[in-house]
């Protein structure tokens, strides 16, 4: 019996005892694992960002508290300005604040009543510049226009009244008062045709207005008598 030949370099049998089986479909990490890994990698930056946001919120709150305190102090000072001298000081100290504009408006009204029309013009113009828009600003513009008529600045005053009369963005009451004062000025100048024109404008603007009724009275009496000088209501909305 012949014995088979032995191979010169026999290959050892494979040893599978220490091999780790590889899963052909690995499981994705859970949300908790991903969140934990993200926190570990970015915790310093997140902490700094949170502190920054907190500082911003605290700063904003402190600033709003400061502004509220300043506004409260300003309102208290305005309420304490009970004389023309104190109003002048207040208005001079707060030339860009709304209450400073209101103080100028009060000073202008007082100057108008006292017949100090140049002073009234200056104060009304300052008030209009500070208040910029709204009923009080319109009142200041109206007061300035009428004060110019009373001060002899006829062309400037009449032009300013016409602008207010035609301005569709103005309150109807302001437009009606401006138009009435144009009618009154025309009546004083003996311009009956203009009195008729402005009274008709008032009829179209607001036939029930007290200013319209006064203009119609001017129209009826203009040929025979000289109507009163233009006037201004010193309280917003007061006829």
pLDDT at 214: 93
Cα separation, 217 vs 148, in Å, equals 24
Residue 49: both structure tokens together: 């960002």
Alpha-helix residue ranges (DSSP H) falling in the chain: 31-80, 84-93, 98-113, 117-131, 135-150, 154-166, 172-188, 192-205, 210-221
What Cα–Cα distance (Å) separates residue 37 from each residue in 40, 48, 157, 236? 5, 18, 77, 68
pLDDT at 203: 94
On average, the pLDDT of the chain sits at 77
Question: What average pLDDT does this structure show over 209-217?
Answer: 93
Count how many residues are written for the chain: 239
* CB of 199 closer than 8 Å to CB of 164: no
Query: What's the pLDDT tens digit per position in 109-141?
Result: 999 999 999 999 999 999 998 988 889 999 999
User: Which residue's structure tokens are 């202008």?
Assistant: 108
pLDDT at 44: 74
Specify the CATH class of 82-221 in words: mainly alpha
pLDDT at 238 over 50: no
pTM, whole model, 2 decimals? 0.61
Query: What's the pLDDT tens digit per position in 80-107?
Result: 676 778 778 877 778 778 788 888 889 9
Question: What average pLDDT does this structure show over 186-190?
Answer: 90
User: Which residue's structure tokens are 């909305």?
Assistant: 237
pLDDT at 63: 40
Query: What's the pLDDT tens digit per position in 154-181?
Result: 999 999 999 999 999 999 999 999 999 9
Binned at pLDDT 50, 70 and 90, residue 75 comes out as confident
Binned at pLDDT 50, 70 and 90, residue 191 comes out as very high
First-last CA distance in the chain: 143
């Amino acid at each position: 019996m012949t014995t088979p030949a032995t191979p010169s370099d026999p290959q050892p049998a494979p040893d599978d005892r220490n091999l780790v089986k590889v899963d052909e479909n690995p499981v994705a990490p859970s949300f908790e694992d991903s969140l934990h890994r993200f926190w570990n990698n970015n915790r310093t930056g997140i902490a700094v960002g949170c502190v920054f946001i907190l500082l911003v919120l605290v700063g904003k709150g402190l600033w709003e508290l400061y502004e509220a305190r300043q506004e409260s102090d300003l309102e208290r000072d305005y309420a304490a300005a009970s004389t023309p001298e104190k109003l002048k000081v207040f208005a001079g100290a707060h030339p860009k604040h709304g209450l400073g504009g209101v103080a100028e408006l009060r000073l202008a009204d007082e100057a108008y009543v006292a017949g100090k029309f140049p002073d009234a013009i200056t104060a009304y113009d300052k008030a209009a510049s500070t208040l910029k828009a709204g009923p009080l600003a319109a009142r200041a513009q109206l007061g300035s226009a009428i004060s110019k008529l009373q001060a002899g600045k006829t062309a400037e005053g009449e032009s300013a009244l016409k602008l207010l009369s035609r301005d569709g963005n103005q309150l109807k009451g302001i437009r009606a008062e401006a138009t009435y004062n144009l009618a009154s000025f025309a009546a004083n100048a003996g311009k009956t045709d203009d009195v008729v024109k402005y009274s008709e404008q008032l009829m179209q603007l607001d036939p029930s207005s007290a200013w319209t009724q006064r203009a119609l009275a001017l129209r009826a009496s203009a040929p025979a008598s000289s109507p009163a000088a233009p006037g201004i209501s010193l309280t917003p909305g007061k006829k």
